[in-house]
């Protein structure tokens, strides 16, 4: 396998990872969250559904983000060594990885409130449950724009270099 073929395969892996994760994140907000909210008016059912979705995402999201960052970072480094444009590929990988600090900075409070309510340590009403899950849904959609941006920027960089 030639180095060019390897670079192409690694780039494709990173870009497909970005695209796949962006779609998965959007699907959670567009389909899973409304399904969870359709369980009302008892909060525990929506909270249980949200917790399941959250736990699965928390287990898979960071590793996927890291894998896409590493893939695109490796190609960016190779491009840098060859004096070819590399910054857009690094930006694409970093955009995917940005879901982690975004989650910690902007979503942690909502995540903790929902987790506490789901665990029963805090009682919240159906209205409060809906408001928290709706807030989480919007933040999650915003978070999904990060790997999507990475995919678009990375694809443009790969096609124009």
Instruction: Give the domain extent around 71.
Output: 3-160
pLDDT at position 33 is 97
Instruction: Tell me the mean pLDDT in the region 85-108.
Output: 98
Q: Is the pLDDT of residue 1 over 90?
A: no
122 pLDDT band, cuts 50/70/90, is: very high
4 pLDDT band, cuts 50/70/90, is: confident
Report the domain count for the chain. Answer: 1
Distance of CA 68 to the CA centre of its chain: 11
pLDDT at position 143 is 98
Cis peptide before 41 (omega within 30 of 0): yes
**Tens digits of residue pLDDT in 28-80:** 999 999 999 999 899 999 999 999 999 999 999 999 999 999 999 999 999 99
Task: Tokens for 145, please give them.
Answer: 């724009």
Residue 33 near residue 47, CB atoms below 8 Å: no
* φ and ψ of 4, to 5 deg: -65, -40
């Amino acid at each position: 396998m030639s180095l060019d073929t390897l670079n192409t395969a690694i780039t494709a892996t990173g870009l497909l990872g970005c695209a796949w994760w962006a779609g998965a994140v959007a699907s959670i907000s567009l389909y899973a969250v409304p399904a969870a909210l359709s369980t009302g008016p008892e909060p525990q059912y929506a909270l249980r559904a949200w917790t399941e979705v959250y736990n699965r995402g928390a287990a898979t999201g960071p590793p996927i983000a890291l894998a896409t960052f590493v893939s695109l970072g490796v190609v960016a480094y190779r491009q840098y060594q060859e004096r070819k444009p590399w910054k857009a590929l690094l930006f694409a990988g970093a955009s995917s990885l940005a879901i982690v600090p975004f989650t910690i900075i902007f979503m942690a409070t909502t995540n903790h409130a929902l987790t506490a309510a789901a665990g029963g340590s805090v009682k919240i009403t159906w209205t409060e449950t809906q408001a928290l899950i709706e807030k989480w849904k919007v933040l999650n959609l915003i978070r999904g724009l990060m790997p999507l941006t990475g995919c678009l920027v990375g694809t443009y960089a790969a096609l124009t270099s």
